[in-house]
Amino acid sequence: MKQYNDLPSKLMLYPAILFMVIGMLVGVYIAFNAFVIPDYFSGEYMHFGRVRPMHVHHVALLWLLSANIGLLYFVVPRLCGVPLWSSKMAYFSAGFWWAGLVPGVYAFPFGYTSGWEYAELAMWVGIWSPKLLFTVGWVLFVVNIFATIFSRKYQQMYVSLWYTMGTMIWTTFTVLLGFYGLDFLPGGISRVNAGFFYVHNLVGLVFTPMGVATSYYFIPKVSRLPLYSHRLSMVGFWSIAFVYPWVGAHHIIHGPVPQWLQTISIIFSVWLIIPVWAVVTNFFATLKGHWNKYSESVSIRFLMMGNVFYLLTTLQGSMQALRNVNEITSKTDWIPGHAHMALLGTFTYFAIGGIYHVIQVITGKPLWSKSLASWHFTLTLIGSMLFFMSLFVGGYLQGLQWASWASGASYLEFQRALATLPYLDTVADVWVWWLIRGIGGVFLLFAALLFAINVFNTIVLKASDESNTPEPTAA
């Protein structure tokens, strides 16, 4: 049984879990203070505009991206049959990573932001550069992973390794463009278009391949069942490599960009069903005939439910790119519903599923409490359903209300419709859905705490459940 150095994984995973809890706490704060009891805590540093990027960067970068990196540090050496190319480089990478991200994210309430959505990390906070440090940390990770793959023992590459290589390239170019490249373009829509190219690649060519790469490893590994089809996984990989980067402009459909660019983004957005379908089918078919594993293993439960959300998210995404659907759903609460179903419902579930397996291997101990893990899953699922459903319904209804201003034949009739239903009335009508969303968020936060406690106890306590004396972690 080969021994791998898992300290790089730990250096990324352990802080990531802590930041997941903090990020969800910030999320619950803004769900209530911005929407349910608006501006209860009032002030320059407390309002939604300053605090929202803090929530987003906690859950997207400090939790999800970091957790995926930790999982890749685990998965890639094992798939290559060789240890990680340089452990020391991994330690430095983690150092730069946290040193850049943490100050950068905690500077948001003080106005240190670039202003571009999901690329808000500031270039300078005083003499400290969050962006540059983060970039160095990322590049060291890329070099390490590529070197490991190029020096691998098993020649034929498992699908996880293609997705990993893909994301090394895609993330690097996406980050270079979104973090540094925008200022080199002419001002105005040129930058906006590049900004949306960045935003969508973040989801589709960064989080997606990382999540899919790790799940392709964990589903067969934890269930001890062979992957359904290697060939299908090839289809999935190459189709995503082709289709994904063209969809950026779907964030600005009906907006100030030319129709041909919008149409390209819509066509490719619909084609996205192909790569996702390949992955979803592969995952479901692997478990076929062995669904008892779903109830036996919390890992499998999270991975499979993530798979369900993955399918739902992409079907939904492809539909909401169509011009007439977009007219109703765009700019409403439907959009954060979709975003959370992707990053939380799909990729966070995938990552948690992986972590429940990994934590046992890297600590050398069984999970501290299987029942707590089951509670984690159930409460997370309840919270997720409340969260997503309330936003989809509330957002859709609001979109329909806005569309009521377009009913009629003359400008006079349109204005009359607007006079009957002023804008602020449509805002008031969403309040109840925001309340349900906030309650869903509380469930999610509480469940995340159970997860953190479970992982913490697995790390620090002795293997046996009856023992009371904590022992130092086996490295």
Partner 1 sequence: MSNDNKFLYKLDKSAVLTAIGAFLLFFCAVVATLIAPQLVESSWVNPTSPYQQQMYEVADAHLYVSNQGTDDAKDLQLVYHLKQGFTLHAFTENELVRIVAPPDLERYITRFGESNLKLTSDLLLLRRPEKSDTFDAVASAENLKRGLQQSSGSGLKLDYQIYELYRPPGNEVFSVARTDGVIEDWVDEEYTILDPEVRQSWHADPGVVYVSNPVEYRVRNFMFGTDEAWEADSDGVPIASLEELQGPKYGFLSRKELVELGEDVYREEGCVYCHTDQTRTLIQDVVLNGSDSEPAPPSTASEYVYNRVSFPGTRRIGPDLSRVGVKRPSRDWHKAHFWSPKTESPGSIMPRFQHFFDDDPRGTSRSPVGVPNYRFEAIYQYLMTKGTRITAPTRAWWLGKDPVDTKAVIEGRVVPDGV
Q: Please, which of residues 421-450 interact with partner 1 by CB under 8 A?
A: 423-425, 427-428
Angle between helices 298-320 and 273-287 (to 10 degrees): 160
Q: Among 169, 312, 322, 449, which residue interacts with partner 1 (rule: CB under 8 A)?
A: 169
Q: At closest approach, how far in Å is the CB of 401 from partner 1?
A: 9
Cβ closest to partner 1, residue 249 vs residue 280 = 249
Q: At closest approach, how far in Å is the CB of 442 from partner 1?
A: 20
Cβ closest to partner 1, residue 282 vs residue 297 = 282
Give the x-and-dash track for 64-103 against partner 1 (CB under 8 A): ----------------------------------------
Cβ closest to partner 1, residue 152 vs residue 370 = 152
Give the x-and-dash track for 247-286 against partner 1 (CB under 8 A): -xx-xx-xxxxxx-x--xx---------------------
Q: What is the DSSP letter of 107?
A: T
Helices (H), 202-297: 208-223, 230-243, 259-271, 273-287, 292-296
Cβ closest to partner 1, residue 81 vs residue 115 = 115
Q: At closest approach, how far in Å is the CB of 77 from partner 1?
A: 15
Cβ closest to partner 1, residue 169 vs residue 449 = 169
Cβ closest to partner 1, residue 311 vs residue 341 = 341
Cβ closest to partner 1, residue 146 vs residue 294 = 146
3-state SS assignment for residue 184: helix
Q: At closest approach, how far in Å is the CB of 362 from partner 1?
A: 26
Q: Among 126, 127, 153, 188, which residue interacts with partner 1 (rule: CB under 8 A)?
A: 188
# residues contacting partner 1 (CB under 8 A): 90
Q: Are 66 and 12 in contact (CB under 8 A)?
A: yes
Q: Which residue type is seen at 409?
A: A
CA distances (Å), origin 158, targets 165, 250, 254, 371: 11, 32, 42, 33
Q: Are 51 and 26 in contact (CB under 8 A)?
A: yes
C-alpha 349/C-alpha 352 separation (Å) is 5
Q: Is the dihedral of CA 183, 188, 191, 192 positive or negative?
A: positive
Cβ closest to partner 1, residue 249 vs residue 373 = 249
Please list every residue from 280 through 339 that binds partner 1, using CB under 8 A: 327, 330-332, 335-336
C-alpha 400/C-alpha 405 separation (Å) is 9
34 touches partner 1 (CB under 8 A): yes
Enumerate residues 6+ apart whose C-beta is below 8 A from 94: 8, 11, 12, 137
464 touches partner 1 (CB under 8 A): no
Q: Among 176, 267, 385, 403, which residue interacts with partner 1 (rule: CB under 8 A)?
A: 403
Cβ closest to partner 1, residue 183 vs residue 465 = 183
Q: Among 194, 278, 362, 444, which residue interacts with partner 1 (rule: CB under 8 A)?
A: 194
Burial grade of 271 (CB within 10 A; 0-12, 13-18, 19 or more) = middle
C-alpha 166/C-alpha 205 separation (Å) is 8
190 touches partner 1 (CB under 8 A): yes
Please list every residue from 208 through 237 that binds partner 1, using CB under 8 A: 234
Cβ closest to partner 1, residue 52 vs residue 293 = 52
Q: Are 207 and 159 in contact (CB under 8 A)?
A: no
C-alpha 20/C-alpha 352 separation (Å) is 11
29 touches partner 1 (CB under 8 A): no
C-alpha 185/C-alpha 180 separation (Å) is 10
Cβ closest to partner 1, residue 429 vs residue 452 = 429
Please list every residue from 339 through 398 that binds partner 1, using CB under 8 A: none
C-alpha 343/C-alpha 203 separation (Å) is 8
Q: At closest approach, how far in Å is the CB of 299 from partner 1?
A: 28
Q: At closest approach, how far in Å is the CB of 44 from partner 1?
A: 4
**Quick one: tokens of 161?**
């390794």
Q: What is the DSSP letter of 125?
A: B
Please list every residue from 109 through 168 that binds partner 1, using CB under 8 A: 111, 113-117, 146, 149-150, 152, 155-157, 161-162, 165-166, 168
Judged by CB under 8 A, which stretch of 19-27, 342-350, 355-363, 414-422 contacts partner 1?
Answer: 414-422
Q: Among 86, 193, 374, 457, which residue interacts with partner 1 (rule: CB under 8 A)?
A: 193
Q: Among 128, 238, 271, 456, which residue interacts with partner 1 (rule: CB under 8 A)?
A: 238
Cβ closest to partner 1, residue 190 vs residue 295 = 190
23 touches partner 1 (CB under 8 A): no
Q: Which residue type is seen at 73?
A: Y
**Quick one: tokens of 5?**
């150095």
Of the candidates 177, 84, 86, 194, the residue with the CA atom closest to the CA atom of residue 135: 177
Burial grade of 312 (CB within 10 A; 0-12, 13-18, 19 or more) = middle
Enumerate residues 6+ apart whose C-beta is below 8 A from 232: 278, 281, 282
Angle between helices 349-363 and 7-30 (to 10 degrees): 140
Q: Among 21, 185, 361, 435, which residue interacts with partner 1 (rule: CB under 8 A)?
A: 185
